[in-house]
Structure 1
Amino acid sequence: MAYSIRPYQDSDAEALASVCRAAIKGIGPEAYSDEQVDVWLSRHPGAALYRERVSNGATIFVAADEDDAPVAYALLEPDGHLDHLYNDPAHTRKGLALNLLATASLFAKHHGITRLYTEASDLARPSFEEAGYVATEKREFEIDGVPIHNWAMEKAID
């Protein structure tokens, strides 16, 4: 199957919400407990989130399949914060995360962003590392009283 990376379109919002939920539900249990997956899901309210984030200046890069349907995406904020990197479980291990991260790096360089940073799950951390990000700390926190963690990571853009 051939994939392409393209800019977000408003009509993608519902599909991106589905990709996000499918990734958390389908891949999350590989590294997190059921309770942790449930609270992680609770932080992703649906399609309105993408429209709001784009209207506030975020850029979303979409990996689309041969039918132009979104199967993975990355959300980059204007300050270099890469807030989302999600991949539909049916489309993992195809290089999409690395392609999205490379696209975000090129975009950052072109727009004068000198540092990208993120909070990566245990599952996303290897992709970020392969893309040149360095873990700076393990972040332990709670969502609705449920302990969970992720990794603060960053990458300098030359």
Structure 2
Amino acid sequence: MAYAIRPYRENDAEALAIMVAAAISEIGAHAYSPEQVAAWSARHTGAGRYRERVAMGDVIFVAADADDKPVAYALIERDGHLDHLYNHPDHTRRGLAAQLLASAESHARERGIAKLYTEASDLARPVFERAGYIVTGKREFTIAHEGRDVPIHNWPMEKLLK
């Protein structure tokens, strides 16, 4: 299947919201408990958030299939924080995450950003490592969900750009 990396478009928001829900519930379940997946997923609801992020100056790169339907995306903030990297479960292991990271890196270099950084899940960590990111620690935290604090973790990572 042919894919293209392109900038976010206003009409992508709904597809991205659906994609992230599927990615967290289906892919996240391979490394996290059902309770952790539910808490993580609850933090990513609604298409309006993508529009807000773009309006604030964040940039979203979209991997689209041959029909121009979004199947993966990366969201980078103005300071080099890579906040999202998600693939639809039907489009994993095709190099899309690596291509999106390369697009984010090119974007950062063009803007003189000296460092990219993220907090990667257990599942995303290997993709970031292959792209040259270094783990700087392990972050243990909780997500408030349904009246409880659900423990979860991720991996702070960074890549210095020269």
Q: Which amino acid aligns with 2:59?
A: T
**Using the alignment, how far apart are the partners of 1:66 and 1:99 within structure 2?**
16
**What secondary structure does 1:29 align onto?**
helix
Q: Which amino acid aligns with 1:102?
A: A
Pairing 1:130–2:130 present: yes
| Match in the other structure for 1:36 | 36
TM-score by structure 2 length? 0.97
**What secondary structure does 1:137 align onto?**
coil
| Match in the other structure for 1:119 | 119
**Using the alignment, how far apart are the partners of 2:143 and 2:24 within structure 1?**
15
| Match in the other structure for 1:146 | 150
> CA shift at 1:46, angstroms?
1.3
**What secondary structure does 1:109 align onto?**
helix
**Using the alignment, how far apart are the partners of 2:89 and 2:45 within structure 1?**
19
| Match in the other structure for 1:83 | 83
Runs of 4+ in structure 1 deviating by more than 2 angstroms, as ranges, are: none
> CA shift at 1:9, angstroms?
0.2
Q: Which amino acid aligns with 1:120?
A: A
Aligned length: 158
Unpaired runs of 5+ residues, structure 1, are none
> CA shift at 1:104, angstroms?
0.4
Kindly provide the CA deviation profile for residues 36-83 of structure 1, in whole angstroms up to 9, marking residues without a partner as x.
000000101210110000000000000000000000000000000000
Structure 1 vs Structure 2 CA RMSD: 0.4
Q: Which amino acid aligns with 1:12?
A: D
Q: Which amino acid aligns with 1:93?
A: R
**Using the alignment, how far apart are the partners of 1:17 and 1:45 within structure 2?**
7
**Using the alignment, how far apart are the partners of 1:107 and 1:79 within structure 2?**
11
Q: State the identity as a percent.
A: 66
**Using the alignment, how far apart are the partners of 1:100 and 1:131 within structure 2?**
10
TM-score by structure 1 length? 0.99
**Using the alignment, how far apart are the partners of 1:140 and 1:46 within structure 2?**
26
**What secondary structure does 2:138 align onto?**
strand
| Match in the other structure for 2:50 | 50
Kindly provide the CA deviation profile for residues 117-146 of structure 1, in whole angstroms up to 9, marking residues without a partner as x.
000000000000000100101000000100
**Using the alignment, how far apart are the partners of 1:92 and 1:27 within structure 2?**
9
| Match in the other structure for 1:62 | 62
Q: Which amino acid aligns with 2:54?
A: V
